[in-house]
């Protein structure tokens, strides 16, 4: 039994499929993965005995700029990605029994699976990526901001934008391989039976007519790596610090500096995660310490709060650790959704968009670092599941049998 997994994005997009890979291998299923050609992803998969089938340009290079590419550049990248997928996916899927795709960028995946006669599963890491009247669609960089207020209209406009971007290219390739055209590209990719790899406490799915969602829980692995000795020394030298990090993304200029200023004013120490943007403290005072790649699972239980951009992986890891969060959402994908969930659950504070002041940060930190918020965060943390990837692997294995 062999499965092809596919995604395109940052570490937050790839790591859940790594977790699924491990659980599938434990069940005797062979795995291939299509992902960006970044060296760290190839090394991660090589450690599991999985060859990376590279698709598209390296993501780290795309994220290196101070701002996102222009709308025209993003449109070109998306069209080129569809062309690349139709060129690479058929050979990658050869001999496979299923193709599991994560992310709307996987435009060609279902058509390739259909042509090969194999099972296709679409996976979302957040509920807001699936159409529902209960929430708005996620922000999609490069597409015009929709001028509507109700969620149903916003989802209709979202489908229109997907068609405008992908319909001609997708249906051209489908015709070339003998498949009929599709009239709704987004819903074709998502299917009416998608999987939701998100924790049901942290990011529940609300029943929606016409969409039969299987919610498995978030896909993650236990990360038992010990913390570096210098980090342990910093942690033990004083009160628990506040973690500030934005992962693979580049925050708006000045956010880290303002966060450190506001935290110091309240008497807190700070941990700055360098991330892909290579962030650093503003000075060399001993109340602030910069770290590279470490186990968040080991670290977050030892900090006072986690300040981050609202990625699914960071949000669930902090929630599972029972630590309050301050979310500074970049207006991308699921960031605003997870910010809203943190606020709704009262396990921290969510700031309105990526631009903020020292004053707004000061209020957010006071909210997140209150005893009441910590108590609620610990309660929610005790209910976060850890078996999502194992559940998904078993479901897939059983379906293929």
pLDDT tens-digit readout, 260-304: 999 999 999 999 999 888 888 888 899 999 999 999 999 999 999
Residue 354 pLDDT > 70 = no
Residue 193 and residue 316 share a domain: no
User: pLDDT digits over 115-160, tens only?
Assistant: 999 999 999 999 999 999 999 999 888 888 888 889 999 999 999 9
H/E/C letters for each residue in 295-327? CHHHHHHHCCEEEECCCHHHHHHHHHCCCCEEE
What's the whole-number mean pLDDT along residues 330-338? 87
Are residues 341 and 315 in contact, defined by beta-carbon separation less than 8 angstroms? yes
Residue 233 and residue 206 share a domain: no
Residue 323 and residue 263 share a domain: yes
CA angle 67, 69, 75 (to 5 degrees): 155
Residue 200 and residue 166 share a domain: yes
> How sure is the predictor about 372, in pLDDT bands with cuts at 50, 70 and 90?
very high
DSSP code of residue 226: P
Say what the pLDDT of residue 67 is. Answer: 65
Residue 78 and residue 22 share a domain: yes
Residue 104 pLDDT > 90 = no
Integer Cα distance of 319 and 194 in angstroms: 24
Residue 67 and residue 121 share a domain: yes
| 162 contacts: CB under 8 Å, gap ≥ 6 | 104, 184, 185, 186
Integer Cα distance of 165 and 188 in angstroms: 14
Residue 347 and residue 296 share a domain: yes
Residue 55 and residue 148 share a domain: yes
* Residues 69-92 as b or e (16 or more Cβ within 10 Å = b): eeeeebeeebeebbebbbebbbeb
Q: Beta strand pairing status for 2-7 and 98-102?
A: parallel
Per the structure, the complete domain to which residue 150 belongs is given by: 2-221+386-400
Residue 353 pLDDT > 80 = no
Residue 321 and residue 193 share a domain: no
User: pLDDT digits over 27-80, tens only?
Assistant: 999 999 999 999 999 999 999 999 899 999 998 887 766 567 788 888 998 999
- Which helix (DSSP H) or strand (DSSP E) does residue 229 occupy? helix 229-236
Residue 152 and residue 244 share a domain: no
Residue 266 and residue 122 share a domain: no
- Specify the number of domains making up the chain: 2
Say what the pLDDT of residue 332 is. Answer: 79
Say what the pLDDT of residue 69 is. Answer: 77
Q: What is the CATH number of the domain that holds 91?
A: 3.40.50.2000
Residue 168 and residue 62 share a domain: yes
User: pLDDT digits over 205-246, tens only?
Assistant: 999 999 999 999 999 999 999 999 999 999 999 999 999 999
């Amino acid at each position: 039994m062999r499965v092809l997994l596919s995604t395109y994005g940052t570490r937050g997009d790839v790591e859940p499929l790594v977790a699924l890979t491990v659980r599938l291998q434990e069940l005797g299923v062979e795995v291939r993965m299509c992902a960006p050609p970044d060296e760290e992803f190839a090394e991660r998969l090589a450690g599991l005995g999985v060859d990376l089938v590279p698709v598209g340009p390296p993501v780290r290079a795309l994220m290196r700029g101070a701002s996102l590419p222009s709308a025209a550049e993003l449109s070109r990248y998306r069209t080129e990605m569809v062309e690349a997928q139709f060129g690479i996916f058929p050979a990658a899927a050869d001999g496979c029994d299923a193709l599991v795709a994560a992310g709307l960028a996987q435009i060609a995946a279902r058509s390739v699976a259909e042509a090969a006669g194999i099972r296709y599963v679409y996976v979302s890491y957040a509920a807001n990526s699936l159409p529902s009247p209960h929430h708005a669609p996620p922000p999609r960089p490069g597409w015009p901001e929709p001028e509507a207020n109700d969620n149903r209209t916003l989802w209709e406009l979202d489908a229109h934008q997907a068609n405008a971007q992908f319909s001609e290219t997708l249906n051209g390739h489908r015709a070339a391989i003998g498949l009929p055209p599709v009239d709704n590209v987004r819903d074709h990719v998502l299917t009416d039976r998608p999987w939701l790899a998100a924790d049901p406490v942290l990011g529940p799915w609300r029943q929606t007519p016409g969409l039969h969602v299987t919610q498995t829980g978030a896909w993650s692995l236990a990360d038992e790596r010990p913390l570096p000795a210098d980090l342990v020394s910093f942690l033990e030298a004083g009160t628990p610090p506040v973690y500030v990090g934005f992962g693979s993304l580049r925050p708006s200029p000045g956010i880290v500096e303002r966060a450190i200023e506001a935290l110091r004013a309240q008497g807190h120490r700070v941990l700055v995660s360098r991330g892909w943007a290579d962030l650093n403290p503003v000075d060399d005072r001993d109340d602030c310490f910069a770290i590279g790649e470490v186990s968040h699972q080991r670290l977050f239980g030892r900090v006072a709060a986690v300040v981050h951009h609202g990625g699914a992986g960071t949000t669930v890891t902090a929630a599972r650790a029972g630590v309050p969060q301050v979310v500074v959402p970049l207006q991308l994908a699921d960031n605003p959704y997870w910010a809203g969930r943190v606020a709704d659950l009262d396990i921290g504070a969510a700031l309105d968009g990526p631009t903020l002041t020292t004053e707004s940060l000061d209020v957010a930190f006071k909210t997140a670092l209150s005893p009441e918020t910590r108590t609620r965060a610990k309660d929610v943390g005790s209910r976060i599941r850890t078996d999502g990837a194992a559940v998904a692997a078993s479901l897939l294995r059983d379906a293929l049998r």
